[in-house]
């Protein structure tokens, strides 16, 4: 039991440590961590993002299906937010959902928040970057095991960094 608990603790610490090393979170003297939010004006976002990224991330847009170059990305690596570079998904949780949008069955720790989206007249769950509040896509309950979740992402809202690079 002790061994199992320390194993779980060490894997959690690793995740926090990698975010600390990347400068995405602060840690106070008591060891508590807070994510460093990135908050910009629309004008500032427009300078950082392509028009399509701006439309999706800042105005809840949706890219056309089967248009993302990341759809067929199969190398091992990390998918990060195109707005603020926060790591969001691991390639180990990516799968081909057949929908035409990059799909994952789990988000990384500390990565995302969700909110109810009624924009199409029925309830969906929007997925938002926890650091910059950018709109990423939606999550559905028809995904594969082990989570049963399908994170249906706009590829334009993501950037990919190969583990080999
Ligand atoms: Zn972000």
The domains found in the chain, sorted by start residue, are: 4-162 (2.170.150.20)
> How many angstroms is it from 128 CA to the middle of ligand 1?
8
| pLDDT average, residue stretch 11-39 | 81
User: For residues 137-159, b (16+ Cβ closer than 10 Å) or e, as one string?
Assistant: bbbbeebeeeeebbbbbbbbbbb
Which residues are marked as active site?
152
The Cα 159–Cα 87 span in angstroms is 9
The pair of structure tokens assigned to 120 is: 């199409």
The pLDDT mean for the chain works out to 90
Do 132 and 84 touch, CB atoms closer than 8 A? Answer: yes
pLDDT of 12 above 80: no
| pLDDT average, residue stretch 18-35 | 85
For 126-138, how does the pLDDT look when each residue is reduced to its tens digit (9 = 90+)? 999 999 999 999 9
The Cα 54–Cα 114 span in angstroms is 19
DSSP string spanning 32-56? Answer: -EEE------HHHHHHHS-HHHHHH
List 121's β-bridge partners, or say none.
Answer: none
Distances (CA, A) of 38 to 9, 41, 42, 103, 123: 28, 10, 13, 25, 28
For 75-112, how does the pLDDT look when each residue is reduced to its tens digit (9 = 90+)? 999 999 999 999 999 999 999 999 999 999 999 988 99
Q: What is the pLDDT of residue 13?
A: 55
> How many angstroms is it from 140 CA to the middle of ligand 1?
20
- With bands split at pLDDT 50, 70 and 90, how would you rate the model's confidence at 14? low
> How many angstroms is it from 2 CA to the middle of ligand 1?
37
> How many angstroms is it from 130 CA to the middle of ligand 1?
7
| pLDDT average, residue stretch 113-138 | 97
> How many angstroms is it from 36 CA to the middle of ligand 1?
11
pLDDT of 8 above 80: no
Q: What is the pLDDT of residue 165?
A: 59
Q: What is the pLDDT of residue 163?
A: 87
pTM for the full model? 0.88
Do 128 and 108 touch, CB atoms closer than 8 A? Answer: no
Do 89 and 111 touch, CB atoms closer than 8 A? Answer: yes
């Amino acid at each position: 039991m002790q061994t199992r608990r320390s194993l779980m603790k060490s894997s959690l610490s690793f995740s926090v440590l990698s975010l600390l090393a990347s400068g995405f979170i602060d840690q106070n003297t008591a060891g508590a961590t807070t994510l460093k939010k990135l908050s910009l004006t629309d004008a500032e976002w427009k300078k950082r993002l392509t028009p399509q990224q701006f439309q999706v991330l800042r105005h809840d847009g949706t890219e056309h299906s089967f248009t993302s170059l990341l759809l067929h990305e199969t190398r091992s690596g990390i998918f990060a937010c195109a707005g603020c570079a926060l790591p969001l998904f691991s390639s180990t949780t990516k799968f081909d959902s057949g929908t035409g949008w990059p799909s994952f069955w789990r988000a990384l720790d500390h990565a995302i928040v969700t909110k109810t989206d009624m924009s199409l007249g029925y309830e969906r769950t929007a997925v938002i970057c926890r650091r910059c509040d950018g709109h990423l896509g939606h999550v559905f309950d028809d995904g594969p095991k082990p989570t049963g979740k399908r994170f249906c992402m706009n590829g334009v809202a993501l950037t990919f960094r190969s583990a080999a690079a």
